[in-house]
Chain A
């Protein structure tokens, strides 16, 4: 086990709704990255937070937003859900920036109907 936990494990929402996914990083890990993994695809980078500030963002619209808290937990919020948002959402933590060793959580599987 990596020590990174995510909740909930599964979630079903309808189009247009909003969702909040949660991640608890390993203690002391200052960097958290969020990824979207569609079925049969590799993870796609959404954004990264370092010490509670957004450090970089992938090609995702602004309705994807995040927060990182001082207690090494973080959130991914998605507004105005679309059918294509159905995917496995993964968070990954690392000690500092630009480290190759990222520890992934088990993911939250989101289904949008």
Chain B
């Protein structure tokens, strides 16, 4: 079993839709949870990070962490064609040097 599981998609939605992206994990030592966006032929770009449980909002993006269920989510409101990319969840423990990434979910937002 992988430490971090993420549905690779692809996920196709119409412009303006609310997008929900999710990851599950098995290591209860993870404390830092990140979401990255990766456009084709580019390196990943950090969107948001959350420490421990709770919600965090930044513009159209909301990250949620449920440590009791070992489940994290990223919501994108009013999705735009420019949001079309691969979204990677990532996580690590406190003081840990190793960041573990999910496989990434490919998102297509149709105009």
User: Which residues from chain A sit less than 8 Å from chain B, CB to CB?
Assistant: 2, 4, 33, 35, 40-45, 48, 55-56, 58, 90, 92, 97-98, 100-107
Return chain B residues, CB-CB under 8 Å to A101.
46, 49
Q: How far is the CA of A105 from the CA of B43 in the complex (A)?
A: 5
In the complex, the answer to whether A58 meets B101 with C-beta atoms within 8 Å is no
Chain B, interface size category, equals: 20 to 34
**A47: nearest chain-B partner, CB-CB:** B97
A-B contact pairs, 14 of them (CB 8 A): A40-B103, A42-B101, A42-B103, A43-B101, A44-B101, A48-B97, A92-B44, A98-B95, A102-B46, A104-B44, A106-B42, A106-B43, A107-B42, A107-B43
Q: Is B32 an interface residue (CB 8 A)?
A: yes
Return chain A residues, CB-CB under 8 Å to B88.
42-43
Q: How far is the CA of A107 from the CA of B102 in the complex (A)?
A: 18
Return chain A residues, CB-CB under 8 Å to B34.
100
> Shortest distance in angstroms between A32's beta carbon and chain B's nearest beta carbon?
12
The interface bits of chain B over 32-45 (1 if a CB of A lies within 8 angstroms of the residue's CB, else 0) are 10100000011111
In the complex, the answer to whether A56 meets B42 with C-beta atoms within 8 Å is no
Task: Tell me which of A35, A40, A97 contacts B8 (CB under 8 A).
Answer: A40
